[in-house]
Amino acid sequence: MRPNLTIASSPDPLGGHPSGGDSTGGLQEAIARGEADADTIAARADALLGEQRRLLIGGELVEASGGRTFPSISPWTEEEIARVPDADAGDALRVVDAACAAAPAWAAVPLPDRVRLVQRAADVLEERLDDFAVLDTADAGSPIRLTLQDGRAAVEAVRRLAGIAPELRGSTIPATDNLHLTVREPYGVALRIVAYNHPFMFAATKIAAPLLTGNTVIIKPSELAPLSALLMGEVLQDVFPPGVLSVVTGRDAALPRALVRDPRVRRIGFIGSAPTGRSIQRDAAEGAVKHVTLELGGKNALIAYPDVDPAEVARAAVEGMNFTWSGQSCMSTSRLLVHEAIADEVVAHAVEIIEARRLGSPFDPRSEQGTIVSRGQHDRILGLIDRAVAEGARIRTGGRRPDGGDRGLVIPPTVLDMVRPGQTVEQTEVFGPVLSVIRWGDQDDPVAIANGVQYGLTANIWTNDVTRALTVARRLEVGYVWVNGWPRLYAGVPFGGVKNSGVGVEDALEELESYTTSKSVNVIFRRG
């Protein structure tokens, strides 16, 4: 039975049908005016959750074979809020058949026309941003202010990729006095499997590069937060020709494994955990030689030298930890490697900032942190905190359910001090709101500590010595570095990791290139 997410009845300041098409800025503006509170936003979610969601296969909205469904569980109420189509290997065959059938005609569409259709898709998605945000808040427990922010970022990213798509081109090579050139061609069918921490943003942005480069694309969202991706399929049903875009959901590994192993799916992009990424590599190799890119986890370090302002480091550490997403972010700077000369001040400032943050319902626009996505992940995080304490770490704040909290899978922002290199919490990606503080002195090498994990996604360096900053940046085994900055991504700058953090980069021209193959053409002139 689906519960009512509304705590108390309240009029809807937005008016109209909750899934109406003219919502751009509506909810954001209502929040700014103080006219949208937790109850009205939850009521809007209830209306959306009452609508049946279906798969998009071959241009049609369909149920999974046999009408199978699985429950979507709210991390705020821990109750069922919707039924989700539970596709299996048979449905995987259906969707790949449809994508393959559509691939030749889509590849033949001139690039300017593909760009126009992708831009049209961005416009259509923008009209429903409020609905995507509300569904993500209900489904994943992310704060409503942040899911609205995700929606805007997604539309901007799609438009940005569409704008740079014409930069994708081949080349001519002066190998001889004949004509030697390269052309870029699509793979055919591309599969994107995305994570739960930014459900709509990932679903929307990760279809853009495959579509722009002439591939048909199948999107498979996480079973933990699939609702906004299914709505995206409905909204975009008539934007692209049948089979060009497909959206499928499934509860277990049968669906993604069948898609990954299908030899006709030659290009795969995955966002998620390192163990699942390695499993995808193995399964892909079972079907054929494929191009697989992986955006995986991180155990990211912020290295603070003693020549910087402790208050600035503390703010960067708190912001970089992504406590707003309950730490459920691959790029969270979850290890604070701080010189012992400033460590006490940094930790004190960080605790002060954290304890002033507001926790509450993810539907409350005032909330600054959401829930953990599932009971299993919630209990795993608490278990890692307990183990850290047993291994000698000290809790400076957080670490247990907030006082008076009787609802939701909420773990308050937690600072673990006196963590030592090699301990479980220092090596393991917690994927929760846990910041580990590792103190180091003049005899220690913080770069070696930062590199001493299996991951290599991001790092942040704080120092006023430019030579040191650039030297450390070169030594760090990561794919993305900030120096004296607040952790964020920048438009057009390639993002990706090394080691067990992944293969390949995204959010730039390189992502578009990765969805094409290069073909060399040699024209031999017949002379005389």
For position 371, which CATH number holds? 3.40.309.10
> CA-to-CA distance for 74 and 135, rounded, in angstroms?
10
Report angle CA 339, 398, 411 to the nearest 5 degrees: 125
What pLDDT, on the 0 to 100 scale, is given for residue 125? Answer: 98
Q: What is the pLDDT of residues 79-138, one digit of tens each?
A: 999 999 999 999 999 999 999 999 999 999 999 999 999 999 999 999 999 999 999 999
Same domain, 217 and 96: yes
> CA-to-CA distance for 242 and 106, rounded, in angstroms?
10
What pLDDT, on the 0 to 100 scale, is given for residue 7? Answer: 37
Same domain, 388 and 402: yes
> CA-to-CA distance for 267 and 294, rounded, in angstroms?
11
Taking 50 as the threshold, does the pLDDT of residue 2 lie above it?
A: no
What pLDDT, on the 0 to 100 scale, is given for residue 464? Answer: 97
Q: Look at residue 56 and tell me if it is in a domain.
A: yes
- Encoded tokens for 25: 């800025």
Same domain, 103 and 237: yes
Which own/partner contact pairs does 23-28 have at CB distance under 8 Å and 24+ positions apart?
23/127, 23/128, 23/129, 23/130, 23/131, 24/126, 24/127, 24/129, 24/130, 26/130, 27/130, 27/133, 27/134, 27/144, 27/148, 28/130, 28/148
- Encoded tokens for 144: 């409503």
Distance of CA 154 to the CA centre of its chain: 11
Q: Look at residue 454 and tell me if it is in a domain.
A: yes
CATH code for the domain in which residue 44 is found: 3.40.605.10
Same domain, 49 and 179: yes
Q: 503: Cβ–Cβ under 8 A, 6 or more apart, which residues?
A: 292, 293, 294, 496
Q: Look at residue 38 and tell me if it is in a domain.
A: yes
Q: Which of 246, 262, 295 lies at the terminal end of a domain, its last residue? A: 295
Taking 80 as the threshold, does the pLDDT of residue 309 lie above it?
A: yes
What pLDDT, on the 0 to 100 scale, is given for residue 252? Answer: 92
- Residue of 126, 234, 295, 511 marked active site: 295
Taking 60 as the threshold, does the pLDDT of residue 33 lie above it?
A: yes
Helix (H, G, I), strand (E, B) or coil at 91: helix
Q: Look at residue 501 and tell me if it is in a domain.
A: no
- Residue of 126, 223, 234, 330 marked active site: 330
Q: Is residue 330 flagged as an active site residue?
A: yes
Taking 90 as the threshold, does the pLDDT of residue 31 lie above it?
A: no
What percent of the chain has pLDDT above 70?
94
Q: What is the pLDDT of residues 253-266, one digit of tens each?
A: 999 999 999 999 99
Which sign, positive or negative, has the C-alpha torsion 121, 122, 126, 132?
positive
Same domain, 451 and 383: yes
Structural domains counted in the chain: 2
DSSP state of 506: B
Same domain, 312 and 245: no
pTM comes to: 0.93
Average pLDDT rounded to a whole number, residues 9-23:
39
Taking 90 as the threshold, does the pLDDT of residue 64 lie above it?
A: yes
Q: Look at residue 433 and tell me if it is in a domain.
A: yes
**316 HSE (CA, 13 A, CB side):** 27
CB atoms under 10 Å from CB of 386, counted, come to 12
Same domain, 485 and 349: yes
Same domain, 263 and 400: no
Alpha helices in 321-372 (DSSP H): 340-355
What pLDDT, on the 0 to 100 scale, is given for residue 32? Answer: 81
Q: Which of 295, 327, 352 lies at the terminal end of a domain, its last residue? A: 295
Average pLDDT rounded to a whole number, residues 9-36:
58
Average pLDDT, the chain: 93
C-beta of residue 98 within 8 angstroms of C-beta of residue 242: yes
Taking 70 as the threshold, does the pLDDT of residue 18 lie above it?
A: no
Q: Which of 240, 260, 295 lies at the terminal end of a domain, its last residue? A: 295
Q: Look at residue 518 and tell me if it is in a domain.
A: no
Same domain, 313 and 283: no
Same domain, 186 and 320: no
Same domain, 315 and 189: no
Which stretches does DSSP call E strand in 371-501?
Answer: 394-397, 414-417, 434-440, 455-456, 458-462, 480-483, 498-499
Q: What is the pLDDT of residues 481-497, one digit of tens each?
A: 999 998 889 988 999 99
Q: 105: Cβ–Cβ under 8 A, 6 or more apart, which residues?
A: 241
Q: Look at residue 142 and tell me if it is in a domain.
A: yes
Inter-helix orientation angle 274-287/254-261, to 10°: 50
Taking 80 as the threshold, does the pLDDT of residue 368 lie above it?
A: yes
Q: Look at residue 109 and tell me if it is in a domain.
A: yes
Q: Domain range spanning residue 487?
A: 301-491
Same domain, 241 and 313: no
